[in-house]
Amino acid sequence: MPTLHKVSVVFFGVLTSRWSGLCVFLCFIFRTNYPSMSVSLVLLGSIAVGYIIWYVATKWRVWRVASKAPMISGYVPIVGHAHKFLGNGVHVFNVLKDVSKETNERGGVATMWFGPYLVYVVTDPETVHKIANECLKKHFLYSFGEAFLGQGLFTARSVPIWKRNRKLLVPAFNQHILDGFLEIFNEQSRVLVSKLAVKVGTEKFDHFPALSKNALEIICRTALGVPKLGENLVTKAYSEAASKMFSIPRQRFVKFWYHNDFLYKRSSLKRQEDQVAKIVHDMSNEVMQTTKLTHKEKDTNTDNYGSGRRFKVFLDLMLELRDKGELTDQQIREELDTIIAAGYDTSSTTLMYTLLLLGSHPEVQDKVYRELTEVFGNSDRDVTKADMPKLVYTEAVLKESLRVIPIAQVLIRYAQKDVKLKNVTIPKDSTILLSVAGMHSHECWGPDVEVFRPERWISGGALIPTPAAFSAFSVGRRNCIGKTYATMSIKTSLAHLLRHYRVTADMDSFVLKHDFIIKPESGWQIALQRRN
């Protein structure tokens, strides 16, 4: 590690310490007003020097270990690499992309500094898999989303809370229940086809509003058991609030002075967060109250999807757990906010990206249509449980879309213990940035890693060397609980949409931004033509 960096980190640490800052301030006061008080000056000076020695001693091991890993370019004394992230969401997306690329070029593990704080960047799939399973504690930056999602599965930084809730909620995503959702998946897909019919033959249009509203309907009718949402729930205000829910944490991250709660609570961004959180919570509260009334009328031992706790849909299961004293109303609402806001937004965004990529690669779209014709013939029938495993190429397209444009660009964890890697040991309590984008562009995918090629997922194509190389649904033990649910829902929507419409799009004008999850900034419009 450069000597200049050690000096700058010590300087930064001293300036930001309330203890040493007070020492320096008192030394100045005494030196100015009481020059004869040399004993006090010596005492205060000794305290300051003692602190510096202590600070260096506690950081020495971190510096020594960090020196064994390459450092990302662009380092500036005192601030480290923090200056690189000052900018809008598009800028942050590009910086993270460049950092991931450089880390891959440097062997899969590199370091960055944010002032005195060291961050390990990891892109090597095998290494990421090891870290993700050993380090389950999420970084404090996830607390920026707690105003919206509380301690739900996505934002929970407490490992015991996450483990307990994950274990309690896994039965709600039993395959038997998911198969029972197919009827609703088909019904809502037909609704989506009907709504998009007015856009056939027109110029390119923004298809995301229709996709997001449809995804919200699916989430509420399936996982939450709400028979049908009213227009007063699925509003434009809610869709905009759900989008800002991801944008606000990113803005707070970039404006590092807002990491301080005292300053943040007095900012305009906090007032905006309060407004957005109210809209998000009003939605989940109304859904919860509606389901509570329905829940009271049901036989607590049976429902439409089976019998016993194992076959309860998501919200029914949570309400049952509340009745047993295992979950509180607050915990239920936090998980409800997570599955509604995070679940519907990510699934609709994934479908949007998939249609955009298919519209930009007509030869791939033709292959999907041929597969759909082989499975369904010329009929417009529903997708069945038996059809799902036959849609091999359709699923390959979905996976390849998520590889090329993952929903989450990075995952951030704390090292709960020393993590021994091939060439370096990451010290306990270090911050680790697991780059999903870096893993998805790793050399293990082959020389055509930048190419959208669904065939790589088909048997006989380029085999994936390790499961960790694909981390679109996170990686390790804290992976997405709704992975199978989302895959079935999106495959059903694609089957209906592509049997009716040919999609046209242009990736050349497509721009992405980092808003906690990856979002489009421009160029995501598509055009539709009806198939014969």
Binding residue ranges: 480
Q: Which residues are annotated as a binding site for heme?
A: 480
3-state SS string for 121-141: EECCHHHHHHHHHHCCCECHH
CB 436 within 8 A of CB 408: yes
CA–CA separation, 323 vs 329, rounded Å?
Answer: 10
CB 71 within 8 A of CB 60: no
- The residue written with tokens 């829910």 in the block is 245
Parallel, antiparallel, or unpaired: how do β-strands 410-414 and 306-307 relate? unpaired
What is the residue type of 281? H
Helices (H), 171-267: 175-180, 182-196, 208-221, 236-254, 261-264
From the list 497, 502, 440, the residue with the least C-alpha distance to 471 is 440
Contacts of 173 (CB under 8 A, 6+ apart): 314, 481, 482, 484, 485
Nearest 5 degrees, angle CA 490-CA 466-CA 72? 95
The neighbour count for residue 294, using CB atoms within 10 Å, is 15
- Here the tokens at position 133 are 């399973």
CA–CA separation, 338 vs 360, rounded Å?
Answer: 32
Contacts of 395 (CB under 8 A, 6+ apart): 457, 487, 491
Q: How far is CA 125 from the centre of its chain?
A: 18
HSE toward the beta carbon, residue 48, CA cutoff 13 A: 18
The neighbour count for residue 310, using CB atoms within 10 Å, is 13
CA–CA separation, 409 vs 518, rounded Å?
Answer: 6
Parallel, antiparallel, or unpaired: how do β-strands 302-303 and 306-307 relate? antiparallel
